[in-house]
A = this chain, B = another copy of it.
């Protein structure tokens, strides 16, 4: 799964720690998500989308390899 978290964070000028606090996870979790290769929970993804005032699909997108 791809994601544009880093870009969205930049738009709002949030640090990883800022975002982590707002959505209630650790900073390392945000860092790991940005690195990719990490399948976060739907609730967390929805929270992140809400914080960035956009749709989840605008931030997180399936890749070919996600279909096994």
Show the binding face of A for B, using Cβ within 8 Å.
1, 24, 39-47, 49-50, 55-57, 60-62, 66-68
When A and B form their complex, which 5 residue pairs have the shortest distance between CB atoms, in order from nearest? A42-B45, A39-B41, A39-B43, A46-B62, A56-B56
A37 to B46, CA, bound (A): 15
Give CA–CA (A44, B1) in the complex, Å. Answer: 11
Q: Which of B60, B62, B68 contacts A24 (CB 8 A)?
A: B68
Inter-subunit contact A24/B55 (CB<8 Å): no
Which residue on B lies nearest to A61, using beta carbons? Answer: B46
A44 to B40 Cα, complex, angstroms = 10
User: Cα distance A24–B1 when bound, in Å?
Assistant: 16
